[in-house]
Amino acid sequence: MKRRARPLRKWVFPSKQQAVPGVKRRIKAQTIEFAVFGDSHVGYGNSLSIFKSLLPKAVSSGNKRFIIFGGDNTQAGANHGNNAGTYYKEFKDTVTSTLGSIPYKASIGNWEASTRSLFTQYLGAVGGQMNFPGTQGKVRYVWLDCALGQFTPASLNLLRNLDDRYFYIIDFHWPLRVQGITVDFSHVLSAAETSKFFTAIPAKAREKVLAIFTHHGHKFYRKLINIYPGYTRTKFFVTGCSGDYKCKQGENMGYYNATLTSSGSGYKVEAYIAH
């Protein structure tokens, strides 16, 4: 009797990673390191030497992906701006030679307000928005112009156009007048300007503002929760000094080492003083 041939068996190989019903995969957190400098005042006293000693420390510590410079980067407005070009060049040369391929962005400060054309020539636009490096466009970096203690209409317009598709890190020179701030009020924005800032941001985007970095106060200050009604999760920072102007050696001189960490669909920012 002729035997019936068995049908060929179809082998199914399991994939390397099969989803298990009802179990969510844990997404590995990603951390991006960056640094925040303020008030380096290149052109004043021993500022250039101090800046040249601090910046390499920040770059060599960890794996920095981005550097923020928060205004009064130079003493450009001194002596009616006669030496502004030299000061900007010294700052720019120090930054480019130290950072190499690390991207950076500078905000404009009050000592640079009278030399805007030179600021733009050496350091780019005084306000804008860009993708924060390493986040595939999910986090945006926004820098604003409040060099004279008031936000420009263009800066307020940038805030009005923020939306909830992205997360945000924002930088500008003058500190906001948040409750409990210990910075001298002569170096803090008015209550009216502070209100303009917070109310300009659409309600749907407010929980997406991760951190606000400010400067000008020549000291370090942090407020990590409830900085203003409607901003329960936003962190607020004031830097110290990275130069010689109104800074005390070993006390308020330094910068922030900071991290941006993703986990799942959210992000958080941490920043710690470094000297």
Confidence of residue 148 (pLDDT cuts 50, 70, 90): very high
What pLDDT score does 5 carry? 53
Report the top-level CATH class of 30-274. Answer: alpha beta
Q: Could you tell me what percent of the chain has a pLDDT over 90?
A: 86
What pLDDT score does 186 carry? 96
Of residues 172 and 13, the one with the higher pLDDT is 172
**Site of tokens 């958080």:** 268
Q: Are 65 and 34 in contact (CB under 8 A)?
A: yes
Q: Is the pLDDT of residue 112 over 90?
A: yes
Buried b (16+ CB within 10 A) or exposed e, 251-267: ebbbbbbbebebeeeeb
Kind and range of the H or E element at 269? strand 266-274
What pLDDT score does 15 carry? 47
Of residues 2 and 272, the one with the higher pLDDT is 272
What pLDDT score does 7 carry? 52
Q: Is the pLDDT of residue 59 over 70?
A: yes
Provide the token pair at 218. 């020549």
What pLDDT score does 251 carry? 74
32-56 residue pLDDT tens: 999 999 999 999 999 999 999 999 9
224-245 residue pLDDT tens: 999 999 999 999 999 989 999 9
Confidence of residue 167 (pLDDT cuts 50, 70, 90): very high
Closest-CA residue to 213 (of 120, 268, 141): 141
Q: Are 215 and 70 in contact (CB under 8 A)?
A: yes
